Amino acid sequence: MQNHKLQNQGEFKRKINSRHLFMIALGELATAMPVTGSFGAYATKFISPATGFTVTWL
């Protein structure tokens, strides 16, 4: 086994951009409130049916 230096443990090598945070948030939402369907179902439930329709068709 290799010796690993743990002095920088918990620090990111690169910065996380908004796309990464968005995907992490969607993953957390899907884990906490699983639904049958796409992410448009979450948009319909939490924002509005029109937004859900738009998200589904994009």
Counting the structural domains of the chain, the total is 1
The confidence score (pLDDT) of residue 58 equals 82
2 within some domain:
no
41 within some domain:
yes
8 within some domain:
no
The confidence score (pLDDT) of residue 53 equals 94
Mean pLDDT of 34-42: 86
Domain that holds residue 41: 18-57
52: Cα within 13 Å, side-chain hemisphere: 13
* Dist CA 15 CA 28 (whole Å): 20
* Dist CA 53 CA 58 (whole Å): 9
6 within some domain:
no
pTM of the predicted model, to two decimals? 0.55
13 within some domain:
no
1 within some domain:
no
12 pLDDT above the threshold of 70: no
* Chain length of the chain: 58
| Burial class, 56, CB count within 10 angstroms (exposed 0-12 / middle 13-18 / buried 19+) | middle
Find where tokens 């290799």 sit: 2
